Structure 1
Amino acid sequence: MNRLTTSRGEFDLTRFPQDPRDPLRAWDAADEYLLRHLEGIDGEPADLSGTVVVLGDRWGALVTAIADHRPVQVTDSYLTQEATRANLSRNGVAEDAARLSTTMDTPPPRIDVLLIRVPKSLALLEDQLHRLAPHVHAGTVVVGAGMVTEIHTSTLKLFERILGPTKTSLAAKKARLIFCSPDPRLSRTASPWPRSYALPAGIGAVSGLTVTNHAGTFCADRLDIGTRFFLQNLPPLHGREHVVDLGCGNGVIGLAAALADSEADVTFIDESYQALASAEATFRANVDGGTRATFLAADGMSGVPAGTVDLVLTNPPFHTHRARTDATAWRMFNGSRAALRRDGELWVVANRHLGYHVKLRRLFGNCEVAASDPKFVVLRAVKR
């Protein structure tokens, strides 16, 4: 746990799920810079009256620090929402002091203050600015924040094109602020997201089908090569009563399972609300109404009862925001083992260099290579 010190007070904050071994803080220099600006340490205090919306708060640090203004948090991340709930509680703030909403929810009708942590995905920023633009007005205070490496000319052009005139601050501790003055005279256009593309040939039952991708979904404009390799080397799918597409993205792996056996229950899991919306749209467009599917926002398999799953299929991430880590994959593997029935199987596609076979052997007592090429490996572990 780390303590964020501001002129508003001190706040004990952690990432989610809390891990005492995790050396990473729940905030960074960009959050500190934005809070200093709001507090007026570098000039006049910002007017936070009216409806305050916080977009892209990574771990709830901003919402916790300004909870007295009853902000609305807008996030694509289930983990962010859970971190925010935990951090509010940890600091003695009632959860209803903030309204926690997702990037797929309808924004407040009027936004008087819009605070934006610039996301890693430029597409997600574009989509959200389009969604929020009709709700701001000429007097709305708009301030963005990010590390210098996160703010590019293309970032500023998005603010300019969708909201209005934009400028940046000087850098401080490798962080920068964005100041935007909304221009009501700008024409309001719809977001170009979601987008769709047809899957290539040679990948089994899903060849030629159309997938839908909301902004920010992994590889939103093409099928990534890891998933392509996985689709070419999936296990037999017929006769599996309950299949989980873990970290589903646009849901193409789970779609293959649903098409293989219309009697199967397929659960799509992701911590991204944009990804789950993509998976559901992809599923509904390609599978008849009689096939059962569940779409679950969760931290890995945390929402799946133990001993209820026959097959887990996953292409786990090896980063959280900009931090490279195998902590997420490890939680996914542990959760999968708990959720699997006896003789249930976990199939993983990953870059060869990640060495997941070592972790899987330690956890399951077995692991075999089902397929490999110079870049990727497909691993199979069985719960005994």
Structure 2
Amino acid sequence: MMNTILNINSQELLLNRFPKSNDKNLQAWDSADEYVLQHIAELNLDSANILIINDTFGTLACALNAYTLHWQSDSHIAKCAVEQNLEDNQLTPNITFLDSLTLPATAPDIVLIKLPKSNAMLEQQLHQINQVMTPNTQVIGLAKAKDVHTSGLKLFQKYIGETTTSLAKKKSRLIFAKPTVSKFDDNAEKLVSWPLEGTEVTISNHAGVFANTQLDIGARLMLENIPNNLDDGYAIDLGCGNGVLGLMVAHENPQVTVRFTDESYMAVASARLNCENAFDDQDRFEFDWHDCLSNYDYDQADLIICNPPFHQLKTVTDHIAWQMFNDAFRTLKHGGKLRIVGNRHLGYHIKLQRIFDNCTTIASNSKFVILEATKP
């Protein structure tokens, strides 16, 4: 694998994405990371308790390892990345890892928040910061300049206080918010809920979940083609999101145990909530915040269903789908089936044919296709 070196503030750091890649364009940091690290260096801090949010591959954690760190992310892949990069750089910082629904126990001196992919997620995270900040907390947002919008700045003003932005540097910008807003009395997250058409089920989503206000059109086609011929056994909803596909597998196959797994903590939490709301018997369900099916046992699943992503952050890539399909092949029993939905143009049938040596088209429309492969 190609090694990528970041030289910043008299430090030389070996940093890689997770999983590691030979693509030189997929480095583990961007100019927003560099901008905020230079700003922190200029503060000349002897010590500080820093809360880092949305550190995509651990660059901030590695570069700020001399401070007391609380590191929060919704992404299990990001957590794997920071652990790997800390190990590769032989760093042992004072760091506490937090999932995206857990707040630090102590008030931070500085909060560094890399803007997330949606305003819904940003609002949730700023609401959390509001609960732990003090008047002396420095809240600093960082992002590419093109991703800093008026709507996001208004959220900083709503939940933190007076907000200004820096000049753009290398096409990135910093956001400075001064805590002047009182703590919100309602410290509970506001879930998004919507009825699943054709059923009596209400789907609830945490802020960070894909398609968190309605059923996406690929999942809609998959719901029309859920297997219903399993008398018992074990099924996995891989990359489960809010769990809607696994819920329908459980509904159509009442004797089957279903495991929901996703690299998003909020996705797994949403799936758990939706199972609790839809079924009385919770012993049938398992939940796992995990990187695909890495470290799962061989030959254990009868069915795996999947709506694979074709991007990591804002980078279009097929490596996640490759990992999902290879992990599924290992995890399925002989005769077990992987059923996926994907955009027609992605050519997933070629990957499945290469891995499984078979692939069947179950259904299709003008945009999506349902494919099934059986482990020989």
Whether TM-score is above 0.5 comes out as yes
1:121-200 alignment, distance < 5 Å: 121-185=118-182, 187-190=184-187, 193-200=190-197
Deviation at 1:52, TM superposition (A): 0.9
CA contact (8 A) 1:131 1:191 kept: no
Does 292-301 or 72-81 show the bigger shift? 292-301
Deviation at 1:57, TM superposition (A): 0.5
Identity %: 39
CA contact (8 A) 2:298 2:331 kept: yes
Deviation at 1:186, TM superposition (A): 6.2
CA contact (8 A) 2:101 2:266 kept: yes
The answer for the alignment partner of 1:32 in structure 2 is: 34
The answer for the alignment partner of 2:266 in structure 1 is: 274
CA distance in 1, matches of 2:60, 2:48: 17
CA contact (8 A) 2:194 2:202 kept: yes
What SS does structure 2 have at the residue aligned with 1:165? strand
Stretches of structure 1 that go unaligned for 5 or more consecutive residues are 202-206
Establish whether residue 14 from structure 1 lines up as the match of residue 16 from structure 2: yes
The answer for the alignment partner of 2:68 in structure 1 is: 70
Q: TM-score, normalised by structure 2?
A: 0.96
CA contact (8 A) 1:249 1:278 kept: yes
CA distance in 2, matches of 1:108, 1:148: 32
For this pair of structures, how many residues does the alignment match? 374
CA contact (8 A) 1:126 1:191 kept: no
1:49-91 deviations in Å (ceiling 9; x for gaps)? 3421001100000011001102110100000101001111111
Deviation at 1:97, TM superposition (A): 2.5
1:75-134 deviations in Å (ceiling 9; x for gaps)? 00000101001111111112x521111111232331211011111121111111112212
Amino acid at match of 2:14: D
Deviation at 1:225, TM superposition (A): 1.1
Deviation at 1:260, TM superposition (A): 2.3
1:317-356 alignment, distance < 5 Å: 317-356=309-348
CA distance in 1, matches of 2:41, 2:125: 26
1:319-373 deviations in Å (ceiling 9; x for gaps)? 0000000110010000000001111100010011111001111111111110000
CA contact (8 A) 2:275 2:282 kept: no
Deviation at 1:238, TM superposition (A): 2.8
What SS does structure 2 have at the residue aligned with 1:371? strand
The answer for the alignment partner of 2:218 in structure 1 is: 226
Query: For the structure 1 residues 355 and 69, does the alpha-carbon distance in structure 2 shift closer, same or farther, using more than 3 Å as the test?
Result: same
CA distance in 2, matches of 1:288, 1:6: 54
CA distance in 2, matches of 1:39, 1:126: 28
What SS does structure 1 have at the residue aligned with 2:179? coil
Query: For the structure 1 residues 163 and 262, does the alpha-carbon distance in structure 2 shift closer, same or farther, using more than 3 Å as the test?
Result: same
CA distance in 2, matches of 1:292, 1:22: 44
CA contact (8 A) 1:368 1:380 kept: yes
1:281-292 alignment, distance < 5 Å: 281-292=273-284
CA contact (8 A) 1:127 1:191 kept: no
The answer for the alignment partner of 2:297 in structure 1 is: 305
CA distance in 2, matches of 1:131, 1:192: 9
The answer for the alignment partner of 1:204 in structure 2 is: none
CA distance in 2, matches of 1:88, 1:319: 25
CA distance in 1, matches of 2:282, 2:239: 24
Amino acid at match of 1:30: A
Deviation at 1:196, TM superposition (A): 1.2
Deviation at 1:237, TM superposition (A): 4.5
1:162-183 deviations in Å (ceiling 9; x for gaps)? 1101011111111110001011
Amino acid at match of 1:132: I
Deviation at 1:374, TM superposition (A): 0.3
The answer for the alignment partner of 2:235 in structure 1 is: 243
CA contact (8 A) 1:262 1:290 kept: no
The answer for the alignment partner of 1:3 in structure 2 is: 5
Query: For the structure 1 residues 330 and 54, does the alpha-carbon distance in structure 2 shift closer, same or farther, using more than 3 Å as the test?
Result: same
The answer for the alignment partner of 1:61 in structure 2 is: 59
The answer for the alignment partner of 2:81 in structure 1 is: 83
CA distance in 2, matches of 1:279, 1:209: 13
Establish whether residue 257 from structure 1 lines up as the match of residue 249 from structure 2: yes
CA distance in 2, matches of 1:29, 1:121: 20
After superposing on structure 2, the runs of 4+ consecutive aligned residues of structure 1 that deviate more than 3 Å are: 20-23, 46-50, 184-192
CA contact (8 A) 2:161 2:179 kept: yes
Stretches of structure 2 that go unaligned for 5 or more consecutive residues are none
What SS does structure 2 have at the residue aligned with 1:67? coil
Q: TM-score, normalised by structure 1?
A: 0.94
CA distance in 1, matches of 2:76, 2:8: 26
CA contact (8 A) 1:237 1:257 kept: no
1:175-226 deviations in Å (ceiling 9; x for gaps)? 110001011446554455222111112xxxxx23111100010111111111
Amino acid at match of 2:118: S
CA distance in 1, matches of 2:366, 2:232: 30
Amino acid at match of 1:211: I
1:254-274 deviations in Å (ceiling 9; x for gaps)? 111122233212110100001
CA distance in 2, matches of 1:39, 1:209: 51
Query: For the structure 1 residues 167 and 290, does the alpha-carbon distance in structure 2 shift closer, same or farther, using more than 3 Å as the test?
Result: closer
Amino acid at match of 2:300: T
